[in-house]
Structures are given as structure tokens and as C-alpha cells.
Amino acid sequence: MPEPRAVESVATTVAALRAEHPSVDGRGWNFDGFRVWVDSNEPGLLDALDRYFADFRRLDAASLDAARASGPVTHISAIQAAPPDLAAGRTPTVGEHKPSVRGPKEAYFDVIDGRVVHKLRTGMWFLFGQDWHLAIGPCTDNPNQVINFINNRMIQWALHRGALLGHASAVCRARAGALPRAIAIAGFSGMGKSTLALHLLNDRRVDFLSNDRVMIHPRRADEAPTIEGVPKHPRINPGTILHNPDLAGILSADERARFAALQPAELWQLEHKYDAVIRECFPEQHFYLRAEFAGLVLLDWHRGGGPTRATRIDVVERRELLPALIKEPGLFYRPGPAQTVSRSEDRYIEFLAGVPVLELSGGVDFDVGRAAALELLDL
């Protein structure tokens, strides 16, 4: 077990860890303007990232220096190694978490130039500051946490450009010679944001934009407001898979039989998650990352709630629904030196000005929800 290592500076510690565990290769992507280079001492991890991000544009660069020659790039190192105890006697702050028999997921502490986050269940450590970004630990066992780290760096980049973070999935409709038009789907945990988004993709005219996180940009001059997604495929439970024929290939025959035998209440409460990779489940459709913000669907429905109702609303009059959309950036975000942007309900209302809002209430019915949501895309 490596000796504990006190972190006084993210920059110094990241530089030292990179020197101790030199990378053997790297990959770069351009996620609609967010340019990132990931290097690692483990080629298998980079191969896994290549497969996961296959829908997106690779940087035409063979090295970090070559990538930087074409413009700003966020450099992330993902080190496969037994990590030292980076707390080294500190008592990190435990992050907010839902009550669980497994306990909290993460803890963190800040230093002068950044933050250190420890994933308590997996042993992964993440360090980040303005120009320094590193993950260390059992990366190959936890590639999803490395992917989330990349996505969180993109979220920070977007928020520093004035966006607001939304807790929503999103789908879109492509247009020739113009940005796609997108609708975001927000709802409190367990209401079926991802499930409804995937039901919308059963219509082959619809493409994917984001799962669980969107960045909303304000209207500028005479332009429509825009919305950005992150390169994250939906993480879905077995109930979602069983009720959508386009997702059938995700489960093996044995898994399908086992999950189908469960009672509906048991099935929907399972925490077992699968990746619904868009290009594999919907090979005719695309994964975009930026679109015109054409509408917002707010889920306020409940199982056993009677007939489903689809109602156009004014969020100024229905402010109680806004917390379903509002999302705090969380532990993997640190504001910049002059970051004082408000994330109040009033700020979200300002950004939603002119955006049609649809409330789905009553009982859960994904067919009714899909038909109502498609109208926002003029389909």
C-alpha cells in the first residue's frame, strides 16, 4: 500500500503523480467545442473510452502538444494504480447523500488551487483545479467514474461560459442547415426522464441529446435559447429495458427471464443499471450535443395516479415544479475566481422565457407522454 500523501496543491500533486505513473498513450475528443485530451498508463482504459465515445468527433492529433496547437484543450490523466491516501490525516467532508445501507458515496477537501474528491465505495481519487485534472485508482474497474469525470469537466466549462445546469434528459429533431431543435425532460428522481427519452427515440425522426444533465444557455439578441448535453449514454434499469423493444439487445436471455419474473414494484426499484449505448440501440439515429431549446417537459406524474394529463403551463405560475429542473453542480464543480452567477429560481425562469413548457401529471403512461412531447418538436 503506498504511503499517505498530503495534498497541499493540486498542481504539485498532479505533476508528481504523472511523473510517477507516466502515460503510455492518449486520446482526444471535441465535444461540440469542449476539447479534451485523456492520457493513461493503461491502454485498455483508453480503448474503453474510444468505444464509449465512438459517436463523437476525435481530435485530429497524435499527442497532447499537437492537440494544444489547434486551440485550448482540457488535459485529464487517468492513472491505473493503487492510490496513496491523499487525505493523509485530514478529515474530508462527506458529500450530501440519500440514506443508504451502503453509506455515503464520496468525500472531499479543498486546497489552495483546487479540490480532491474520494469515491468511498470504489477507492477512486479525483483531483482538479483550473488547469490540472487527474483520476487515480482502479480505473479499469470503474470506467464509468472516469467518464463522469470527463463529463463534469465539460459541465464546469459550460457553466463558466454562463450556462445553468439542468437535471434533465433531452432529445432533438435534426434540421438541414440549422441547429437541431431539442426538448428537455425533467422530473424528480424515479419519475422516468431517461425512460421517456428512450421511448421518444422509438420515433426514428428523433435523435438523442443528453442523459440526466443539460446546460441551458440564455437567449442572445434575436437568437433562440440553446441547450447543451454531455456525452453520456443513458444508464437505465431493467424495467426500462423490458418495456422498450429497441433496448432488447442489452439483456441476455437469462437476465430477461429473471427480471421478467419480478413483480412490477420490485422491478422498478432495482438499482442495477445498464448502459443504453445510442449507436447500438438506435443505429439509424444520432447523438448530438447542442440544439435550439424548443421545449421543456416537466414530469409530475405518479404510478397509480389515474389518467395521464398533458398541460401547457407557465412556470412563473407553477414555480413549485422548478426544483425538478434545477440542479446544483455538486462536488465536481468549483466556481472560478470571479464566478457569482445566480442559480435561483428567478434565474431559471429568466432562461426559460419564451420556451414552451409541458406538464405531464396524473398517472405514468409513456405512450401518452411520448405523443404529447412529440408535439413540442412539431412531430
Domain containing residue 305 = 164-234+276-376
Q: How far is CA 61 from the centre of its chain?
A: 26
Pair 199, 324 in one domain: yes
The pTM of the full predicted model, rounded to 2 decimals, is: 0.93
Are 117 and 176 members of one domain? Answer: no
Sequential DSSP letters for 162-190: T-EEE-EEEEEEEETTEEEEEEEEEESTT
Q: Is residue 337 part of a domain?
A: yes
Please give the pLDDT value at position 66: 96
Q: Which amino acid is at 109?
A: F
Three cell numbers, residue 149: 469525470
Whether 59 maps to a domain, the answer reads yes
* pLDDT of 98: 64
Which residues, other chains included, contact 296 with Cβ-Cβ below 8 Å and sequence gap of 6+? Answer: 168, 183, 184, 185, 186, 325, 352, 355, 356, 357, 358
3-state DSSP assignment of residue 132: coil
What pLDDT, on the 0 to 100 scale, is given for residue 60?
A: 93
> Is there a single domain that holds both residue 180 and residue 112?
no
In a domain, 198, yes or no: yes
Can you tell me the distance from the alpha carbon of 358 to that of 231, in angstroms, rounded to the nearest whole number? 25
Residue type, 337: P
pLDDT of the residue at 308: 95
Do 200 and 332 lie in one domain? The reply is: yes
pLDDT of residue 101: 59
Residue ending a domain, among 140, 159, 178, is 159
pLDDT at 340: 57
Q: Are residues 110 and 193 in the same domain?
A: no
Residue 123 sits in the same domain as residue 175 = no
Same domain, 50 and 169: no
Q: Are residues 134 and 173 in the same domain?
A: no
Q: Is residue 257 part of a domain?
A: no
- Residue 258 located in a structural domain: no
Domain CATH for 282: 3.90.228.20
- Domain ends where: 97, 126, 159? 159
101 vs 271: CA distance, rounded Å: 13
Strand ranges (DSSP E) for the chain?
25-31, 34-40, 57-58, 74-80, 93-94, 106-111, 114-119, 125-129, 133-137, 164-166, 168-175, 178-187, 207-210, 214-217, 226-228, 235-236, 274-275, 290-302, 309-313, 357-363
In tens digits, what is the pLDDT along the chain, a chain of 379 residues?
A: 688 889 999 999 999 999 999 999 999 999 999 999 999 999 999 999 999 999 999 999 999 999 999 999 999 999 999 999 999 988 999 987 666 557 788 999 999 999 999 999 999 999 999 899 999 999 999 999 999 999 999 999 999 988 999 999 999 999 999 999 999 999 987 788 999 999 999 999 999 999 999 999 988 777 788 999 999 999 888 888 888 999 989 999 998 998 888 887 777 777 778 999 999 999 999 999 999 999 999 999 998 889 999 999 999 999 999 999 999 888 999 877 655 567 789 999 999 998 999 999 999 999 999 999 999 999 8
> Does residue 126 share a domain with residue 47?
yes
DSSP 8-state code for residue 4: P
Q: Within a domain: residue 262?
A: no
pLDDT at 341: 62
Residue 259 lies in a domain: no
Whether residue 171 sits in one domain with residue 122: no
In a domain, residue 202? The reply is: yes
As for how many domains the chain has, the answer is 2
Q: Are residues 329 and 218 in the same domain?
A: yes
Examine the domain organization and report whether 17 and 116 are in the same domain: yes
Q: Which of 109, 133, 159 is the last residue of a domain?
A: 159
Q: Give pLDDT, residue 145.
A: 97
